[in-house]
Chains A and B, each alone.
Chain A
Amino acid sequence: MKKIALAVSLALAAGGVAAQEKTIKIAGFGAKTGAVRSFGINSEAALLAAADVINKQGGVRLADGSKAKMVVEFYDDRCTAEEGISIIRRVHGTDAIVAVGPTCSNVAEPLFGILQKKVDDKGDSGLQMPVFTDVAVKGGLAKISEWAFRNVPSEMTMYSSLFYWLKSKYPNAQSVYGGVEEDFAHSRASWYAVMKDRAEANGYKVLGNSKWLLNDSNFATQVREMKSANADIVAIAAHPFTTCGVLKEMQRQGVKPKVLVGLTSSSSMETLQGCAKQAEGMIIPTSFAPVTKEGKFAAETTAKFKGAADLHSMAAWENMFILKQVIESEKVSGAKGELQADRRKIRDGLAKLKETKGLLGVTKRTDDREADKPYLFVQANKGEWKVLHDPL
């Protein structure tokens, strides 16, 4: 009887050792409630899918040569700054070595503000936690803290290239009119600081812009202004719901510009779900389309985790592989007592990167911790985003 008990105990102990394999925790966070819930769902699916692929390939190699599995724990920040800040404080108290997120620029901006501004500044009690953003697009945010890194496309570069290309493709188009979601930080910044600026820089005459709010439902007056301007190109810096409202009103009022340009974030399925017919022909620069072998694989794998592949979620996918590379190159230990040292290694490793491998090609890393990602121009075509032009 004693022998049986001993055997059972040994078997259980052996099982316990096997179960206690090393893990490296990555905290993901983004909006999983509210109107931008799909962003969080897609990011989470992409993070889980990438972790699954990495783990099936044996996991990530640690400083002592052992292998660890990558584990993702995802938090819902509801696209609100206070929840985002609360999450990053909570994550700082866990054994996560890095955080990937958030979804919204209005969360990223204040959240980066509570991180330590400059590393090794003993007078700054800000959080020392590396944050590697996948979605929030508003330009230049990483400069807020040396612990903040982003793998989001540069709208400035993309729209500059787009208007340059439109100039040769549509030589008769001379004027641009804008439509902007005035109360949303990213949309505002995209129109005033990027689209308008880049259109003028490329020799277009900007005839004006119409404004509306994120929750608006009646766009008759704005589209009438648009119609009076009679511009060759209409550029809409708004999220899918109001983009669709405006496009439908444009159809009713018979506004048919030569070219329709959309916001980077709208090159996802939300726009086509809301108004595929009216969005037909819309051109958007984007940092992802499933055109490469790696891109197709990432999209298919993410779909198995019930997420859609778009420029945002695929940035999350890329982040996981970049982090694997940094963990291995910086010899992260994964030991409990070394948590803060490991976070610092991740930060330093990310800061050292000059380029990374992305799904569309090589992404260059800038000195202010932003990404210069490859991009494509896609066009809405029969309910799908199809690649229109590869400018690179």
Chain B
Amino acid sequence: MLDFLQAVSDGVLFGATYALIGIGFTLVFGVMHKLNLSYAAASIGGAYCGLLVLKVAAGAPAWLVFFGAFLAGGAIGWLVYLTCFHFIPLSNPLATLMSTVGMLLLIDEIIVHVTNGMPQNYPAMFDDVMLRAGEFTLRGDLLLVFAICVLCMIGLLALLYRTKLGLATRAVSQQPVAAQLCGIRVARVNAMTFVVTGLLGGIAGAMIGAAVGALSPLLTAPLTVKGLIVTVIGGLGSVPGAILAGLLVGGFENVFQLYRGVTERDLYVMLLLFVFLVFRPGGIFAPKSGRH
């Protein structure tokens, strides 16, 4: 039982990073009805950029690196929007999908060329703190990651539901033509969505780097897959869904690993995805059928 609880708690805490990646996917899909497959790579790219802080100021605190990753993530998000969406006809769904696949590979290869593929040590906070209750333990750094992820989610929800930008974003998401007729600049809202998701991605990348303790280009492909699974399970376009699904996938992943081993783990995560696609294709927070 203890092993089970430990696996669930470890997984759920780590799942917070999946949730952040899932939010990025779902937010772009919710607003533009397009998938940005380069999102996880851009997030890891942002985290790598955060390491530049240590180049400029050796020995800088970890939070400064995270903040650097946050800003870099936003900038990369805007660049992704410009290159993959702004100048490409949005009416052709395949064009933007393929451009983001290209961007994923491009970012990955830029990272590989700059670092020669070498893993980079990534700073963490509270990585020497371990909360103990008998045999049960909780990693201090993962608790911080979890807390930062929760704060980001709260911040994002506040942005979406308490600000004019959020109102405009939701309007464009629901009725882009009507929103445009109301004077909302759709292209600007789309760009801002990418910047906001990029900022979140930068934090997600930094939190993943901190949780693992190192960054590698090997991270981008599995994170892309996990992000997509989280997005589908949570419901395309649903931010609360992505949050819950991220935690769920993280927890399930660890439980599957505990009982079925690492080689079967991903098999069961994929089965979980298929179960949702068959029995609840709209995801956890699927909207009720009919007009709303």
Given contacts A240-B118, A274-B120, contact A213 B262 (CB under 8 A): yes
Number of interface residues of A (CB under 8 A): 37
CA distance A41 to B117 in the complex (A): 11
Looking at the complex, which of B72-80, B169-177, B184-192, B216-224 is the stretch in contact with chain A?
Answer: B216-224
Is B101 in the interface zone, CB < 8 Å from A?
Answer: no
CA distance A34 to B118 in the complex (A): 10
* Cβ-Cβ contact count across A and B, 8 Å cutoff: 109
Is B99 in the interface zone, CB < 8 Å from A?
Answer: no
Is A275 within 8 A of B121, CB to CB?
Answer: yes
Is A275 within 8 A of B213, CB to CB?
Answer: yes
B117 is contacted by which of A38, A215, A221 (Cβ under 8 Å)?
A38
Given contacts A182-B262, A245-B213, A274-B214, contact A218 B10 (CB under 8 A): yes
Which of B119, B120, B127 is packed against the most chain A CB atoms within 10 Å?
B119
| A16-37 with Cβ < 8 A to chain B | 33-37
CA distance A34 to B100 in the complex (A): 19
Is B6 within 8 A of A224, CB to CB?
Answer: yes
CA distance A285 to B223 in the complex (A): 34
CA distance A37 to B109 in the complex (A): 10
Query: Using an 8 Å CB-CB cutoff, how does the interface string of B130-142 with A read, 1 for contact, 0 for none?
Result: 1000000101010
B222 is contacted by which of A35, A217, A240 (Cβ under 8 Å)?
A217
Is B121 within 8 A of A211, CB to CB?
Answer: no
Is A215 within 8 A of B257, CB to CB?
Answer: no
Is A273 in the interface zone, CB < 8 Å from B?
Answer: yes
Is A169 in the interface zone, CB < 8 Å from B?
Answer: no
Is B262 within 8 A of A273, CB to CB?
Answer: no
Q: How far is the CB of A16 from chain B (nearest CB, A)?
A: 38
CA distance A240 to B116 in the complex (A): 13
CA distance A310 to B138 in the complex (A): 39
Q: Which bracket fits the contact residues of B? A: 35 or more
Is B262 within 8 A of A212, CB to CB?
Answer: yes
B219 is contacted by which of A215, A240, A254, A274 (Cβ under 8 Å)?
A215
Is A33 within 8 A of B139, CB to CB?
Answer: no
Is A248 in the interface zone, CB < 8 Å from B?
Answer: yes
On chain A, the residues within 8 Å of B204 by CB distance are none
Is B130 within 8 A of A270, CB to CB?
Answer: no
On chain A, the residues within 8 Å of B211 by CB distance are 217-218
Q: How far is the CB of A178 from chain B (nearest CB, A)?
A: 14
Please name the residue on chain B nearest to A240 by beta carbon: B119
Q: How far is the CB of A206 from chain B (nearest CB, A)?
A: 18
Given contacts A33-B112, A215-B219, contact A220 B118 (CB under 8 A): no
Is B118 within 8 A of A38, CB to CB?
Answer: yes
Please name the residue on chain A nearest to B257 by beta carbon: A221
Is A37 within 8 A of B112, CB to CB?
Answer: yes
Is A253 in the interface zone, CB < 8 Å from B?
Answer: yes
Is B261 in the interface zone, CB < 8 Å from A?
Answer: yes
On chain A, the residues within 8 Å of B112 by CB distance are 33-35, 37
On chain B, the residues within 8 Å of A38 by CB distance are 116-118
Is B291 in the interface zone, CB < 8 Å from A?
Answer: no
Is A221 within 8 A of B216, CB to CB?
Answer: no
Q: Which residues of A line the B interface, CB within 8 A?
A: 33-38, 41, 182-183, 211-218, 220-222, 224, 240-241, 244-245, 248-249, 252-254, 269-270, 273-276, 278
Query: What are 28 A-B residue pairs whose CB atoms fall within 8 Å in the complex?
Result: A33-B109, A35-B117, A35-B218, A38-B116, A38-B117, A211-B261, A213-B262, A217-B208, A218-B11, A218-B14, A218-B253, A220-B254, A222-B262, A240-B118, A241-B214, A241-B216, A244-B213, A245-B214, A248-B214, A249-B213, A269-B118, A270-B119, A273-B119, A274-B118, A274-B120, A274-B121, A274-B214, A276-B121
A-B CB proximity, top 7 nearest: A274-B119, A248-B213, A37-B117, A38-B116, A241-B216, A220-B10, A241-B119
Known contacts A183-B263, A218-B254, A273-B121; 4 additional CB pairs below 8 A are A35-B218, A222-B262, A244-B121, A253-B137
Q: Which residues of B line the A interface, CB within 8 A?
A: 3, 6-7, 10-11, 14, 109, 112-113, 116-121, 127-128, 130, 137, 139, 141, 208, 211-214, 216-219, 221-222, 253-254, 257-258, 261-263
